Homo-oligomer: A and B are copies of this chain.
């Protein structure tokens, strides 16, 4: 990778704190790809979150219009299919698609206990949560679950991690198991079979604050499959909050 990457951003999703060299629109995807080729770009990395854009047919060029039915069909089939179609389009145009593991491997912690301590109960809860998330991933739903004492308190769906942890924080005490026997954990993993070059789940300091507010004992995640933003900050914060942080191998 060049030490000076070119930054391209979809219009409407401009990144914070990062100068954009090349804005683009999906309606003009093929001219955008030609422009990357003209600038000598050979490798692309996808980063950041976008939602499905609304398309303005008036802006379409003929080459993108010809490609669009394929992309629309993939969008109707779900997020995974959409991302696979996008990767294919870039690959067919001659670009190598690199992932976080290639360009910033330190963002993907390898197996190990990164903060706090683990009980046998925590390890059993992580095993159960991993099975639940794998089952959900197979039907293209969320990448996270909350398990306490073997019981599934919540499962991540479209509204995302923050909404799920807020719902757990709001649970009346009689609807959750006695925390004295195990506070439970939030587990996060990539989807089984997902292309790891794109759309890896992400944890950060805010996740830890939400986990503490939900009364849980810690966070476990799939080693090598989940991005940790500011890991040293996360480790300090987990210790301050009395949480464990575990990259489960």
List chain A positions with a Cβ less than 8 A from chain B. 76, 78, 131-132, 135-136, 138-139, 141-142, 145-146, 150-155, 157-160, 163, 167, 171, 175-176
Contacts and interface: CB of A to CB of B under 8 A. Distances in A.
B132 A141 contact: yes
A146 B157 CA distance: 9
Given A136-B135, A136-B136, A158-B175, A152 B141 contact: yes
Contacts of A141: 132, 135, 152, 155
A136 B151 contact: no
Closest 7 CB pairs of A and B: A155-B155, A152-B157, A135-B139, A141-B152, A159-B175, A167-B167, A135-B135
How many copies of this chain are found per oligomer?
2
The winner among A132, A151, A157 for most chain B CB atoms within 10 A is A157
Contacts of A139: 131-132, 135
A135 B192 CA distance: 14
A15 to B, nearest CB: 20
Given A78-B150, A152-B141, A159 B171 contact: yes
Contacts of A159: 153-154, 171, 175-176
Contacts of A131: 139
A177 to B, nearest CB: 8
24 contacts: A76-B150, A131-B139, A132-B141, A135-B135, A135-B136, A135-B138, A135-B141, A136-B136, A136-B155, A141-B152, A142-B152, A142-B155, A146-B157, A152-B158, A153-B157, A153-B158, A153-B159, A154-B157, A154-B159, A159-B171, A159-B175, A159-B176, A160-B175, A163-B171
A159 B157 CA distance: 15
A130 to B, nearest CB: 10
A153 B145 CA distance: 14
Given A132-B136, A160-B175, 7 more contacts: A78-B150, A135-B138, A141-B152, A142-B152, A146-B157, A158-B176, A163-B167
Contacts of A157: 145-146, 152-155
Nearest to A77: B150
A161 to B, nearest CB: 12
A166 to B, nearest CB: 9
Nearest to A134: B139
